[in-house]
C-alpha cells in the first residue's frame, strides 16, 4: 500500500483482518507495545488492538497508536506518505498537530 514496512512493529499478533471493499484493517496483539524508532529518537505506543482504514500511502481514522512528545503521549489518527519521491511520512493527531519524518526511519 506504499507505507513503510516497519511502521507497525507489532509482536505476538493474535488476529489480523482486512476488508478489501472498505479498506478497514484491524490487528490484535497479546499486549501493548512501546517501540523506539532510533533514527528519529521517538517512542510509539501500540495498544492491544490497532484499527484504521488503509488506502494507498495512507492510514486514516487510526485507533490505538500514540507517539511520545516530550513528557506526553499524543494520539495519532492519520499516517500518510506525503510524496513517495520525497521520502517523508506525516503523522497527524485529532487536534491537528502533525510532524513529518523521513520514511527511512520506518524501514521503507
pLDDT confidence of residue 84: 67
pLDDT confidence of residue 31: 93
Non-local (6+) Cβ contacts of 13 within 8 A are 27, 28, 29
**Full-model pTM:** 0.85
Could you report the per-residue pLDDT of 10-34, keeping only the tens digit for each? 888 999 999 999 999 999 999 999 9
Angle formed at CA 63 by CA 101 and CA 73, multiple of 5 degrees: 60
CB atoms within 10 A of CB 108: 16
Could you report the per-residue pLDDT of 31-64, keeping only the tens digit for each? 999 998 888 888 999 999 999 999 998 999 999 9
pLDDT confidence of residue 15: 94
pLDDT confidence of residue 108: 47
Considering only residues 25 and 5, tell me which one the structure prediction assigns the higher pLDDT.
25
Q: Which of 87, 95, 70 is nearest to 78 (CA)?
A: 95
Task: Dig out the grid coordinates for 103 from the structure.
Answer: 520514511
Query: Is pLDDT above 70 for 1?
Result: yes
pLDDT confidence of residue 105: 66
Query: Is pLDDT above 70 for 107?
Result: no
pLDDT confidence of residue 4: 74
CB-CB contact of 90 with 100 (8 Å) = yes
Amino acid at each position: 500500500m506504499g507505507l513503510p514496512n516497519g511502521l507497525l512493529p507489532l509482536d505476538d499478533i493474535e488476529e489480523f483482518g482486512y476488508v478489501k471493499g472498505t479498506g478497514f484493517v484491524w490487528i490484535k496483539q497479546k499486549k501493548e507495545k512501546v517501540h523506539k524508532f532510533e533514527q528519529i529518537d521517538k517512542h510509539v505506543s501500540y495498544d492491544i488492538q490497532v484499527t484504521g482504514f488503509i488506502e494507498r500511502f495512507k492510514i486514516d481514522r487510526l485507533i490505538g497508536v500514540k507517539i511520545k512528545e516530550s513528557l506526553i503521549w499524543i494520539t495519532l489518527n492519520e499516517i500518510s506518505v506525503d510524496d513517495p519521491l520525497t521520502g517523508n511520512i506525516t503523522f497527524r493527531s485529532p487536534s491537528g498537530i502533525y510532524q513529518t519524518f523521513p520514511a527511512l526511519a520506518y524501514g521503507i
